[in-house]
Amino acid sequence: MSELEVGFIGVGRMGGPLARRLINARFPLTVFDTNKTAVDSFVASGARPATSAAAVASLCAIVITCLPTPSIVHNVALGPDGIAEGKRVKIFIDMSTTGATYAKRIAEGLASKDIIAVDAPVSGGIAGAERGTLAVMASCSEEVLARIRPVLEVFGTIFHVGREPGMGQTMKLLNNLLSATAMAISSEAIVVGVKAGLDPHQIVDVINAGTGRNSATADKIPRCVIPRKFNTGFSLELLNKDVRLCLEEADALGIPMVVATAVRQLLAITMASEGPNADMTEIVKPLERWADIQIGG
C-alpha cells in the first residue's frame, strides 16, 4: 500500500467536496461517516468503505477528519474505536474547526500512540472546497509538512502558520471571527441605508468601490441576502461555535474582545429567532425586523 493512501472521516457538507478532490486526484481513499448514504456515494466512485474510525486508521497511514464540533473530533480521535486504536496510521490531519485547546489535547493523546497530529483547518467555503482554492492553515514541523504536502495541495494554498499543535486552529478562528464581524456590521450598515431610502444594490456597489469593502459586501450580501437565497452553506450554529471558541482563546490569553462579544450576542439573538441551522447570512433578519424593512427580494 502507498504511504499516501489516505483515510477520510466525515464526508458531509464540507468534508465531502474535500474527499471528492482526493478521488479526482487519484489518491487511494478509504472513507467513514455515520451517514451510510454519504459513504455509498464515494464507494461508487472507487473509495473503500470502513466501519469505524479505527478501521480507517488500520488501513491508512494518513487519516483526515472534517467534522462539525470539537467534541466529535475528540471522540473520533481518542474515543472507543477511534483513530488512536488504528494499527497503521502515522499522521492525523484535522481540517475541522476545534480551537487550540482541543487540538493540543488531541495531539497529546495521539502522541502516546506515536501518531503525529496536524491541525490544518481551511477557509474558503464549500465552493472553495469544490474548486480546490481553499486556504489551508497547517501547523506541524517542516518535515511532516513535506510528507503531507501532496495531499494538502489538492485542497488549495498551504499556509504553514506554525509548528505547535493549535496554531492552525488559532489562525482559523481569527479568520472566522473577522468573517462573522464583517457579516454583522455590513448587515447593520445596509439596513440603515435601506431604511434611509437607498437602493441595496447601489449600497454594496459603492462600498465595494471604497474603503468599506469586505467579504460580506463583496460576496455574501449581493449573492445571498439581496436575492433572499441565504445559502452560503454555513450555519449560524457553526459560526457561533467558532466565535465562542475565539473568545475563549482570547480570554485564556487575558485579552478583552469587545466587538467580538457584541457579534456573538447578535448571533445568539439570530439563532433564537431563526434557529441554529439557519444560514449565517440570516443574521440580517432580526436587524430587518427591528428596522421594519427588508433588504432586496
pLDDT per residue over 33-53, tens digit each?
A: 999 999 999 999 999 999 999
Separation between Cα atoms, residue 121 and residue 243, nearest integer Å: 15
Scored b (16 or more CB within 10 A) or e, 55-68 reads bbbbbbbbbbbbbb
pLDDT band at 297 (very low <50, low <70, confident <90, very high): confident
User: Cα(182)–Cα(122) distance, rounded to whole angstroms?
Assistant: 18
Take residue 185 and report the three cell numbers written for it: 456590521
pLDDT in tens, 51-67: 999 999 999 999 999 99
Domain covering 6-163 assigned CATH 3.40.50.720 in the classification = yes
Would you say residue 13 has pLDDT above 60? Answer: yes
pTM of the model: 0.92
- pLDDT confidence bin for 3, thresholds 50/70/90: low
Task: Summarize pLDDT for 151-186 with one digit per residue, the tens.
Answer: 999 999 999 999 999 999 999 999 999 999 999 999
Question: Is the predicted pLDDT of residue 283 greater than 60, yes or no?
Answer: yes
Q: Where are the domains of the chain?
A: 6-163, 170-291
Q: Domain 170-291, CATH 1.10.1040.10 — does that match?
A: yes
Q: Nearest Cα to 272, choosing from 248, 255, 289?
A: 289
Contact (CB, 8 A) for 166 and 119: yes
Check if the beta carbon of residue 176 is closer than 8 Å to that of residue 123: yes
On the question of a common fold for 6-163 and 170-291, the answer reads no
Catalytic site positions: 172
